[in-house]
Amino acid sequence: MEKSSFIRQNILPVLAAFIWGTAFVAQSVGADYLEPFSFTTARSLIAFFFLLGLCAILYWRREKTGAPQPGARPGYRRDLLLGGLCCGTALMLGTNLQQKGIETTASGKAGFITALYIVIVPILGLFLKKKASRGVWVSVALAVAGLYCLCIKEGFSVEPGDVYLFLCSLCFAVQILSIDHFAQKVDGVELSCAQFLMVALESAVGMLAAEQPTLEGLRLCMGPLLYVGILSSGVAYTLQIVAQRGSNPTVVSLLLSLESVFATLAGALLLGDRMSGREYLGCVLMLAAVVLAQLPDRRRADAERAEA
């Protein structure tokens, strides 16, 4: 694997997971002032305008250097709009279902159920003829065990909010697979921009129908909104899209699930939370899962050598 491909397919999703993992504090603060649809609408609008500016800069740079523009291909605009619709709708549903589930479910268990997309992605991938190797399936099992140790502090019992969180996990899996499809056809930054425009528009409908946001609430949580709008949404989700171009979506989802590890470590380092032996074990299992997923598939390598 070339160095540039390794960085794109491995470092970028880990960086995205790091940003998401450290954004939980900002999200929890924002939830004190704005309801779910209002918060999602505001952060998505910030992400959209940030990415729109980035698209303009990249367009100007390509014009200056004479590089081809990605939109020159026939059917590009249709693919971009369809990609924004599919990825944005899945992301909007997942984000708001997660916020709804957190209302009645402890945050640790909410993080565990949400991260079950690492299991759902390869299962759905089977229906799309995207088979995962045996090593990847073992990595998924290790990651689930690690997430359980990290997130579940007490006995696991089913609560009403758990249904919303499982549906949220399903939506995030659909979003990952949608990106896997459209990232091969359109520019990653433009797809991210279209995605967040759709999230903002659809969340705004829910906000106007069910919530009553105030300018004062918006002012009080502007700091958290800027953080999650620019970094967590604008930057991290764009890194995810760029990383998924030509990558195995199951392996990328494993790397993205390191968000739970970074969230736990951030709580220990920034908030003084003490980590238990069980949480340390969870971190080790998660890291082992990620390393195992990066090992080459021996059967595929043997087949390639035989063909050569």
Cα→Cα distances 163→64, 120, 150, 160, Å? 51, 15, 21, 6
For the record, the structure tokens of 189 come out as 């930054």
Global pTM value: 0.81
Looking at residue 154, its pLDDT comes to 63
Decide which of 133 and 41 is more confident.
Answer: 41
Decide which of 307 and 150 is more confident.
Answer: 150
Q: Which amino acid is at 190?
A: E
Residues 6+ apart with CB under 8 A from 49: none
Q: Which amino acid is at 253?
A: S
For the record, the structure tokens of 137 come out as 């399936």
CA–CA distance, 252 with 217 (Å, rounded to integer)? 36
Residues 6+ apart with CB under 8 A from 98: 110, 114, 164, 165, 168
What does the pLDDT look like over 162-202, one tens digit per residue?
788 889 989 999 999 999 899 889 999 999 999 999 999 99
Mean pLDDT score, 289-308: 54
Helix-strand-coil split of the chain, %, nearest 5: 80, 0, 20
Looking at residue 85, its pLDDT comes to 96
What does the pLDDT look like over 191-230, one tens digit per residue?
999 999 999 999 999 999 988 888 898 899 898 899 999 9
What does the pLDDT look like over 29-80, one tens digit per residue?
777 788 889 999 999 999 999 999 999 999 898 888 888 877 777 889 999 9
CA–CA distance, 92 with 200 (Å, rounded to integer)? 8
For the record, the structure tokens of 2 come out as 């070339």
